[in-house]
Amino acid sequence: MNTLIIISVLPLVLLYLGLYKAQKALLPVTVIGLLAALGFAVAEWNSSAVPIYSGMMLFDNFSIAFSAITIISTILIIFLSRGYFEKISNHIAEYYAIILFSLAGIIVMVSFYNLTMLFIGIEIMSVSLYILAGIKKSDFASNEAALKYFLMGAFSTGFLLFGVALIYGATGSFSLETIRDWVLDHPHAKDITPMFYTGVLLIIVGLCFKVGAAPFHFWTPDVYEGSPTLITAFMSTVVKTAGFAAFLRLFSACFAPLSDFWVPVLLVITIVTLFIGNITALYQHSFKRMLAFSSISHAGYLLFAIVALGANSGSSVLTYATAYSIASIIAFGALILVQQQQGSDSFESFNGLAKKNPFLALVLTIAMLSLAGIPLTAGFIGKFYMFSSALMQMQVWLVVLAVVNAIISIFYYFRVIVAMYFRDAERTELVVPVYYKLVLGFSAIVTILIGVYPSLISRFF
């Protein structure tokens, strides 16, 4: 678990660099530290996976794959932060440190083997995000986002903890292995206590809050809109990926034999999430708020892997989460640049962008096509895997409804493409910093590569 150790120690190093005013060293030290953590994670691939820390954590291929995706996404977002935090405060070391503390919690979330560690990981991540959402102290919207996120986060933690307590009351253990054995020892529904069933339902509610699934999504649009755009990018990509990795790990390891009980519940949540996310996104005039509702709809697609739980669920979530993350990073990166020039995040702010900034318009177009699930992009492959897994479980109507929602999403994703290429506006050329060109260009290339050669990522499981 050298990866977790490095990511836990790195924020302390950054705080000391900030204390001694070594501001220029913060970005390179952060990136080098994250690359080292990534290297240690990859080095453990296919190693003998045994529970560590007295059976509290398990760093297997599943954990390594999701740790790698979250670390790479964080590195890309950190690159976009060059010059961003300086406009908010002179003390920028704290911002890098808090992001990395949140990432440490995320590594715990994707590697837990005990419900106690799941709770600890979620809380380390969440407390850091409450602070990050409100880092613009003089901005009322940022303060409101932090308060809403804190209140809703505390509320969802209550559900999660109550569910965990009931599971412990029924099985006598927090260990995933012990809980799984208990479920296997009680093969008949009449042998399972109501306490256990209630605990499963409460855990579903708590985790759906964390990943922004409807009807527990109502904090998402306001928090995403009010938070600084860079922090919204982190919450929308890295945090959502970790949430679904934890969701899948828990249900595949412990509750799979009881799928007849909880699948209908998740099926309803999935359908409601798809329709609420997509239909509400249609009426948005703000590009950032549209991305917030879009993230709700993508939570619905990611739930497919849990509803249709099977051997390929891990690969499906990894592929979809990767496709969604890199496309969202492009979208939020472009939004930051347009906001800085136009002072607005409305769709009209993108009018005529293609004539003055063809590179930025091209990468943003690739991102929108991927999010919409157009062929030859990573987003299409992600949706294909999700729909295939659902069809294998005979969830035909779920797939039909999902395809209808995918068609609806094309409308609002194409709005920004139409604005960039087919609407004129008086605007000056937008300067795209080198760091942004590297991140956006790399993300666009990966989006196309995964769309053409999906085995690049799907073969990991």
Residue spans per domain, the chain = 2-458
Given a cut of 90, whether residue 137 has pLDDT beyond it is: no
Given a cut of 80, whether residue 150 has pLDDT beyond it is: yes
Given a cut of 80, whether residue 349 has pLDDT beyond it is: yes
pLDDT > 90: percent of the chain: 52
Given a cut of 90, whether residue 10 has pLDDT beyond it is: yes
Alpha-carbon distance of 134 to 144, in angstroms, equals 8
Given a cut of 80, whether residue 101 has pLDDT beyond it is: yes
Q: What is the pLDDT of residue 258?
A: 87
Mean of the pLDDT values across residues 245-261? 90
Alpha-carbon distance of 277 to 259, in angstroms, equals 25
Select from 304, 180, 289, 185 the least CA-distant residue to 227: 289
DSSP class per residue in 52-66: BTTTTB---HHHHHH
Q: What is the pLDDT of residue 81?
A: 85
Q: What is the pLDDT of residue 138?
A: 79
Given a cut of 90, whether residue 439 has pLDDT beyond it is: yes
Given a cut of 80, whether residue 84 has pLDDT beyond it is: no
pLDDT one-digit tens code per residue, 273-296: 999 999 999 888 889 999 999 999
Q: What is the pLDDT of residue 461?
A: 62
pLDDT one-digit tens code per residue, 27-78: 899 999 999 999 999 988 877 678 888 888 988 889 999 999 999 999 999 9
Q: Angle at the Cα of 116 (from 218 to 112), degrees rounded to 5?
A: 85
409 within 8 A of 294, measured Cβ to Cβ: yes
Give the type of residue at 275: F
For residue 348, what are its two tokens? 């009209």
Select from 136, 29, 70, 79 the least CA-distant residue to 432: 79
SS in 3 state form for 327-366?
A: HHHHHHHHHHHHHHHHCCCEHHHHCCHHHHCHHHHHHHHH
Q: What is the pLDDT of residue 189?
A: 65
Mean pLDDT of the chain: 89
Q: What is the pLDDT of residue 116?
A: 93
Neighbours of 23 (CB within 10 A): 15
Mean of the pLDDT values across residues 167-173? 92
3-class state of residue 439 by DSSP: helix
Given a cut of 90, whether residue 444 has pLDDT beyond it is: yes
Residues 6+ apart with CB under 8 A from 421: 354, 361, 365
Give the type of residue at 379: G
Mean of the pLDDT values across residues 79-94? 80
Mean of the pLDDT values across residues 371-375? 92
3-class state of residue 184 by DSSP: helix
Q: Which residues pair with 114 in a beta bridge?
A: 175
Neighbours of 182 (CB within 10 A): 18
Select from 235, 242, 385 the least CA-distant residue to 319: 385
pLDDT > 70: percent of the chain: 98
pLDDT grade for 311, boundaries at 50, 70 and 90? confident
